[in-house]
Structure 1
Amino acid sequence: MSEHKIDLKWEGAPSSFDESTYNRNHTVSFSDMVQVTVSSAPEYKGDPSCADPEKLLTSALASCHMLTFLAIADLKGFSIESYQDQATGFLEKGDSGRPQVTRIELHPSIVFAGEEKPDAATIKRMHASAHKNCFIANSIKAKVDVIDV
């Protein structure tokens, strides 16, 4: 199959907005060219200007679903002009009583190009297939809902 490596770096320092605790900011490098500053969510004393792990998980799922949907559309001969999503991940208490991302809602908006466009039932089946075949969806236990399709 394949491997997917990242480089994560954190250095100890006081928080810039709460000196009684440590700075949660760190960098994640995906390659020599792509680096993201990550922190914990603001509710957990993180930097609100940074991505947090829960947002990264939500974006990974939404991105994987989109890429799988695009592949399915291409195989079926449909051309897509644009795909947008306003996904939301919900950090809630799980069955164990501990916080976890329990569900992720996808809100895709797709503009099909060309003369042949799928009907609503076909789009719904394509989303179901994208979910079933999405690597990230198959790797997490959070419930995934595709809304407004």
Structure 2
Amino acid sequence: MSVHTAAILWQNEPHESEENTYSRNHCVMLNGGQEVRVSASVEFKGDPNCADPEQLLVSAVSSCHMLFFLAIAELQGYQVESYKDDPKGYLERNDKKSMGMTRIELSPNITFGGEKIPGQEAISRIHATAHSKCFIVNSITAKVTVN
């Protein structure tokens, strides 16, 4: 078991473009001193220059999947040179008739090096194992697919 923490700081300020409401901007502080500027998504009066919680969820799923993929590939003797993903999350009405992240699509592009290069079947198996092991995927209800 492990415990993971973050700190959130929001201060009441006027909204940048709508005078009758508040700013959604806030700061998320992470270990190591990282500060991430976060706001609501633009569709919900957020700042387009900030990350939004939905993006952070989608990137967390992608990052977790990638880290498991890299670990499994290394254990199987494959050398990954680069891993790029352009994940997409879909905020839609869910079964409870409320809005939720219903599905997340990962689209990894992986480059291998070294002498042992996996075939498509081996890559698919690594993805399947990474998907089943990913802590974040195992924590959410959204359907996660790997294209």
Measured after TM superposition, the shift of residue 32 of structure 1 is 5.1
Alignment of 1:1-149 (within 5 A): 1-31=1-31, 33-147=33-147
SS at match of 2:11: coil
SS at match of 1:95: coil
User: For residues 104-128 of structure 1, what are the alpha-carbon distances to aligned partners after superposition, in whole Å with 9 as ceiling and x for unaligned?
Assistant: 0000000001111110011001100
Task: Tell me how far apart the structure 2 counterparts of residues 32 and 66 of structure 1 sit (CA, whole Å).
Answer: 21
TM-score (norm 1): 0.97
Task: Tell me how far apart the structure 2 counterparts of residues 101 and 21 of structure 1 sit (CA, whole Å).
Answer: 26
Structure 1 gap segments, 5+ residues each = none
Which letter maps to 2:110? I
Task: Tell me how far apart the structure 2 counterparts of residues 37 and 101 of structure 1 sit (CA, whole Å).
Answer: 21
Consecutive aligned runs of 4 or more in structure 1 exceeding 4 Å deviation: none
Deviates more, 1:31-40 or 1:56-65: 31-40
Task: Tell me how far apart the structure 2 counterparts of residues 83 and 32 of structure 1 sit (CA, whole Å).
Answer: 24
> Residues 123 and 32 from structure 1, CA distance in 2 versus in 1: closer, same or farther, beyond 3 angstroms?
closer
TM-score (norm 2): 0.98
Measured after TM superposition, the shift of residue 77 of structure 1 is 0.5
Which letter maps to 1:105? E
Report the count of equivalent residues.
Answer: 147
Measured after TM superposition, the shift of residue 13 of structure 1 is 1.1
Structure 2 gap segments, 5+ residues each = none
Which letter maps to 1:77? G
> Residues 92 and 17 from structure 1, CA distance in 2 versus in 1: closer, same or farther, beyond 3 angstroms?
same
Task: Tell me how far apart the structure 1 counterparts of residues 18 and 129 of structure 2 sit (CA, whole Å).
Answer: 46
> Residues 27 and 89 from structure 1, CA distance in 2 versus in 1: closer, same or farther, beyond 3 angstroms?
same
> Residues 121 and 32 from structure 1, CA distance in 2 versus in 1: closer, same or farther, beyond 3 angstroms?
closer
User: For residues 48-78 of structure 1, what are the alpha-carbon distances to aligned partners after superposition, in whole Å with 9 as ceiling and x for unaligned?
Assistant: 1100000000000000000000000010000
